[in-house]
Amino acid sequence: MSCGTLYLVATPIGNLEDLTFRALRILKEVALVAAEDTRHSRKLFQHYGIKTPLTSYFAHNEAVKGGKLLERLQQGDDVALISDAGTPAISDPGYLLVQRCRQLGITVTMVPGASAVVSALAISGLPTERFIFEGFLPPRSKPRREQFRGLRDETRTTIFYEAPHRIQKSLADLVAELGPERRVVVARELTKLHEELLSGTAEELLERASREKLRGEMVLLVGPVVQQPPHETVREALLRLRQETGQPMRQIVKQVAKEHGLPGSEVYRESLRLKKEAD
């Protein structure tokens, strides 16, 4: 008997219309759906007339329930895994189940859809070429400040999840560690009726959070550090480093390109001009 397939099915993060056609079909066709909170998922099922049996699968029963789901999969049943909202296994239970399926040779496939991380980043107005997702911020101030401290020289947009009752304290810690001028975005209630995007400096958003009680599911995005323009030209930097370090020009070119934020090829051409002049 061949094993079934584990489907990771993304569900809406707010607006119920954001369920894909394929996700709807899979949820109706599988033998069982494992949900983070069955009470929450039943609303989605009722909305779309999905009759598939639901079982709970959350952090505190992950070890025991994961074994039972594996048994169903090994018996040939297809199983879908969903979270309360968005893509399962991303800051939600699911990683261990996927890992065990891979170890046992059980097929795992993705049914993509809504993601709060990607949705918030896309509309934030912050740089999107490079970013990192850090999950939920620590609930206590000391480890939270330590995490923010590590972003002082971060050149990528950083994305967090945060609870509404902690957002003011988190913004205060952010200001303390990264300064009042760091660009910050808070995306709340994404795709819902009261969706709102708060954008500005860390200090401006802290003032806003101090004045009014922000509610709803939140994504906190921290902009990258603003690179200060170098005080010397590429030519000057090449000459200085050649004199100070004695390193091969290949390594010097790489360092100067990084410091000036330029393509290595451009800096390399300047190094060839210097070499030609010296000859």
Whole-angstrom Cα distance, residue 152 to residue 255? Answer: 20
- Is residue 25, in this structure, part of any structural domain at all? yes
pLDDT in tens, the chain (279 residues): 799 999 999 999 999 999 999 999 999 999 999 999 999 999 999 999 999 999 999 988 888 899 999 999 999 999 999 999 999 999 888 999 999 999 999 999 999 999 999 999 999 999 999 999 999 999 999 999 999 999 999 999 999 999 999 999 999 999 999 999 999 999 999 999 999 999 999 999 999 999 999 999 999 999 999 876 557 888 888 888 888 888 888 889 988 888 887 888 888 898 888 888 876
- Is residue 227, in this structure, part of any structural domain at all? no
Q: Which two three-digit tokens encode residue 110? A: 């993705």
Instruction: Identify whether residues 37 and 68 lie together within a single domain.
Output: yes
Maximal C-alpha separation, the chain: 80
> Are the C-beta atoms of residues 54 and 33 closer than 8 Å to each other?
yes
Domain containing residue 253:
234-278
Instruction: Identify whether residues 24 and 107 lie together within a single domain.
Output: yes
Whole-angstrom Cα distance, residue 201 to residue 133? Answer: 20
CATH code of 77's domain: 3.40.1010.10
Q: DSSP label at 261? A: T
Work out the burial of residue 272: count CB atoms within 10 Å of its CB; fewer than 13 is exposed, 13-18 middle, 19 or more buried.
Answer: exposed
Q: Tokens 């199983």 identify what position?
A: 79
Helices H / strands E in the chain, number of each? 11, 10
- Is residue 55, in this structure, part of any structural domain at all? yes
Triad 243, 247, 248: Cα angle to 5°: 115
Instruction: Identify whether residues 132 and 106 lie together within a single domain.
Output: no
* Of 114, 138, 164, the domain-final residue: 114
Q: pTM above 0.75?
A: yes
- Is residue 261, in this structure, part of any structural domain at all? yes
Instruction: Identify whether residues 106 and 141 lie together within a single domain.
Output: no
Instruction: Identify whether residues 102 and 166 lie together within a single domain.
Output: no
Count of domains for the chain: 3
